[in-house]
Amino acid sequence: MATEARILPPREIAPRSIVRSALLTLPIMLWSLLIFSNSYQQPNPSVLLAGIITPVFMTALFFMMMRTSSTYRWRRWFFVSLGLLFPVGFIHQVMVMRGSMGIPMEEMIAGRTPFCFLPMPLLILPAALTKTVVFPGSILPGGGMSGGGMAAMAGLWLAITIVVGKGWCSYACFFGGIEEGMASVPRRAKLWKIDPRWRYGPWAILLAMVLLSLALFEPAYCMWLCPFKAVSEYVAAHNTVGMVQNGIFVVLFAGLVIVLPLLTKKRTQCAFFCPFGAFQSIFNKTSVFDVKIDRARCSSCTLCQTACPTMSLTKESIAQGMTLMSCMKCGACVDVCPKHAAVWHIKGTEVAVKPERARLMLLYAAWGMAIMFGGTIVAEGLATILHVFV
């Protein structure tokens, strides 16, 4: 461990030239054009326009990441846009298809409930034991709101997770952007002291929901605890219990996604509640990219600890030069570190030797996934808004 006397000076990071930044951005620009190529054949002007604006937006953000060597604030622009535009496109679609955000029973029976990634960990044990998926959707496309079906969502999830691990929570999750946006609104946190044991919340909820889902053969989290039902869809309430369930969703959304992020400047739903996030943390063990702390440069200022939106840095972990398993690779700690001691890292390589190379490789992979998955959702939401005017 480095002592005070041996702390190295901050790493020199000069901004890249515009030309060099543009060259590094070129693959991403080509990738965007490829992903959105279908939009350019659309007769619908709002879809066409969204298909132009979105790749320009994503490419511009990547360019700024290259130019400024900063990741977090540019990624956040995309992620907040995703969080805000997903409900726009989704709610519009459900209103057009069935006139209500409430899922009627006929839709569940017909297997047309859209499948979200959040209940996936809960469905594993019942499926493994009985080959039954306890979700009222369709395995393959079933029409209506079922989209590509559960197999498609599972396939997409697996592919993206192989690439980014828990980076899903920073580059793919279409719910997290709302609270990330809320957390970035105030200049300072009003609630400073948060008991670090709340970080175990997602694991506790995951354990409880997995056990209850197996006991009752239903997706217990979707039935009782998902805050994002407030901005997507929910089971239409026919009785008191249904109303209680929907009340819980609204209260959790208001508390965990709006109020607490405003007070704490943390992604409180993600850090203290989301069981899918806990499940996804396991894949940080398989991901080749991570964040390390260069102990030779770290002055223990703990700015990184304060900046981390999910409390994935503690004094102990910083002393060990690493983040916790819950790190979602958002880049906040790397960008805030005044000594540039927090660095992107490829497992197996030496810490802080060419960290920019690690960053570039991570960003090509993660941003590629962001464009493919989140970008198309952003475009859909944008097209919905543009349709009003165009």
Partner 1 sequence: MTDSFVFGEALVLGLSSGPACLASCGPVLVPSLLAEQSGMRLGARYLSTFLGARFLGYLLFAAVAWELGVLVALPPAPRLLLIGIIHVLLAGVLLWYAYSLGHPHVHSCPVSELVTIGVERKRGISGPAALGFLTGLSLCPPFVIAGVRAAQLHSVAAAILFFALFFVGTTVWFLPLVSLGCVRRNEAVTTVARMAMVLIAVYYFFLGSAMLMGRNVYGH
Partner 2 sequence: MKIRAKLGYTAAGLTVLTAVLVPFLLSGLFTKGFAALGLHVDEVYSGGPKVRTVKTADYFIDVHRPVSPHMLQSEKPFVQLDWRPASALPGQVSDAVDIDGDGQPDIRVSFDVPKDVKIPLRVNVEALNPQYEAMRNVGQERFSKLIVRVDDAILVRIPQVH
CB of 243 to partner 1, least distance (A): 11
Nearer to partner 1, 125 or 301 (CB): 125
Query: In the beta sheet, which residues pair with residue 292?
Result: 322, 343
Cα 335 from chain centroid (whole Å): 18
Binding part of the chain for partner 2, among 1-9, 16-24, 51-59, 216-224 by CB under 8 A, reads: 216-224
Selection from 275, 269, 239 nearest residue 251 by Cα: 269
CB of 373 to partner 1, least distance (A): 30
Residue 130 engages partner 2 in binding (rule: CB under 8 A): yes
Nearer to partner 1, 123 or 205 (CB): 205
3-state secondary structure of 234: strand
Size of the site for partner 1 (CB under 8 A): 23
Residue 108 engages partner 2 in binding (rule: CB under 8 A): yes
Sole binder of partner 2 in the list 26, 140, 241, 390 (CB under 8 A): 140
Query: Interface residues for partner 1 in 85-144 (CB under 8 A)?
Result: 105, 129
Q: Which of partner 1, partner 2, none has residue 110 at its interface (CB below 5 to 8 Å by kind)?
A: partner 2
Q: Cα(200)–Cα(326) distance, rounded to whole angstroms?
A: 10
3-state secondary structure of 104: coil
Q: Which of partner 2, partner 1, none has residue 18 at its interface (CB below 5 to 8 Å by kind)?
A: none
Sole binder of partner 2 in the list 65, 85, 116, 163 (CB under 8 A): 163
Nearer to partner 2, 141 or 255 (CB): 141
Residue 205 engages partner 1 in binding (rule: CB under 8 A): yes
Token pair for 110: 């017909």
- For 151, other C-beta atoms within 10 Å of its C-beta total 15
Residue 37 engages partner 2 in binding (rule: CB under 8 A): no
Instruction: Give the angle 316-275-307 at the CA atoms, nearest 5°.
Output: 40
Selection from 40, 63, 51 nearest residue 367 by Cα: 63
Q: Which of partner 1, partner 2, none has residue 207 at its interface (CB below 5 to 8 Å by kind)?
A: partner 1
Helical (H) or strand (E) element with 278: helix 275-281
Residues sharing a CB contact under 8 Å with residue 123, sequence separation 6 or more, in sequence order: 133, 134, 135, 213, 219
Residue 368 engages partner 2 in binding (rule: CB under 8 A): yes
Alpha-carbon torsion (37, 38, 41, 42), positive or negative: negative
CB of 41 to partner 2, least distance (A): 17
Q: Cα(330)–Cα(344) distance, rounded to whole angstroms?
A: 11
Nearer to partner 2, 92 or 354 (CB): 354
CB of 106 to partner 1, least distance (A): 11
CB of 105 to partner 1, least distance (A): 6
3-state secondary structure of 142: coil
Q: How far apart are the first and last CA of the chain?
A: 61
CB of 156 to partner 1, least distance (A): 29
Nearer to partner 1, 34 or 109 (CB): 109
Query: Interface residues for partner 1 in 231-270 (CB under 8 A)?
Result: 235-236, 238-242, 244
Contact 336, 354 (CB under 8 A): no
Instruction: Give the angle 311-158-275 at the CA atoms, nearest 5°.
Output: 35
The DSSP output letter for 289 is E
Residue 204 engages partner 1 in binding (rule: CB under 8 A): yes
Binding part of the chain for partner 2, among 157-165, 183-191, 253-261, 309-317 by CB under 8 A, reads: 157-165
One-letter amino acid of 143: G
Token pair for 210: 């997995």
Sole binder of partner 2 in the list 217, 247, 250, 251 (CB under 8 A): 217
Give how far Cα 292 sits from Cα of 141, 231, 344, Å.
Answer: 42, 36, 6
Residue 206 engages partner 2 in binding (rule: CB under 8 A): no
φ/ψ of residue 160, rounded to 5: -70, -35
3-state secondary structure of 103: strand
Q: Which residues bind partner 1 (CB under 8 A)?
A: 105, 129, 197, 200-201, 203-205, 207-208, 211-212, 214-215, 224, 235-236, 238-242, 244
Q: Which residues bind partner 2 (CB under 8 A)?
A: 31, 35, 104-106, 108-111, 127, 130-140, 148-152, 154-156, 158-160, 162-163, 215-218, 238, 288-289, 346-350, 358, 361-362, 364-366, 368-369, 372
